[in-house]
Amino acid sequence: MHSERPARAEPQVSLGATVGGAVTDLRLADGPHGAFHLGARGDVFLLRKRERDWGVGPFVEVLTEAFDTLETGGGLSLLMPVFSSFPVILSGGAFARRATGLDWEAGVSSTLFFGAMGYNFHSVYEMQNGLFVSGRYGLGDGQQADIVMGVRLDLMLLALPAIFIYEALAH
């Protein structure tokens, strides 16, 4: 006789690289500048049992704008299942930033993400790939105000070619 397991809300974890561009220095007199953006972000979503469920959870991130800054922070994200496997994720949090010629400064950030992210019924790891736009506002003397846009590529997606090559050579 077949017995079914009760559905439980397991945490879903994802790690990704963010790549894109930024419009920086929006508050400075010498005007806005374009910059390359590179970062990494990890998310944990709680309270979900399937793709159609809302989720909430913490995130952490580390990033740089044109390799002139180092920013690290975290906060809270809300996952809204707009389409079955394509949610909208709203995030807000705080960060610490160190820029060339400046000491560490605090700031606040918000991010809007839209992309592919289902629900993994077999593991706590869930791939997340899509587009994002983020606003970052510094609270220190650096007067940071940036808009960042780009893509988020799941680290598992980036690792798959290496895993494939390893498996092909090992067998």
Return the CATH fold of 12-170.
Porin (2.40.160)
Domain ranges of the chain: 12-170
- Tell me how far apart the alpha carbons of residues 50 and 85 are, in angstroms, rounded to a whole number: 10
Query: DSSP secondary-structure letter at 50?
Result: S
| Among the listed residues 146, 20, 34, 22, the one whose alpha carbon sits nearest the alpha carbon of residue 95 | 146
Q: Parallel, antiparallel, or unpaired for β 33-45 and 55-65?
A: antiparallel
| Among the listed residues 73, 68, 78, the one whose alpha carbon sits nearest the alpha carbon of residue 25 | 68
Q: Do residues 73 and 109 lie in contact, with contact meaning Cβ atoms separated by under 8 Å?
A: yes
Q: Do residues 22 and 134 lie in contact, with contact meaning Cβ atoms separated by under 8 Å?
A: no
Strand partners, 12: 45
Report which secondary-structure segment, H or E, holds 164: helix 155-170
Per-residue pLDDT of the chain (171 residues), as tens digits, is: 555 555 566 899 999 999 999 999 899 888 899 999 999 999 999 999 988 899 999 999 999 999 999 999 999 999 999 988 899 999 999 999 999 888 999 999 999 999 999 888 888 999 999 999 999 999 998 899 999 999 999 998 888 888 888 888 887
Model confidence, pTM: 0.87
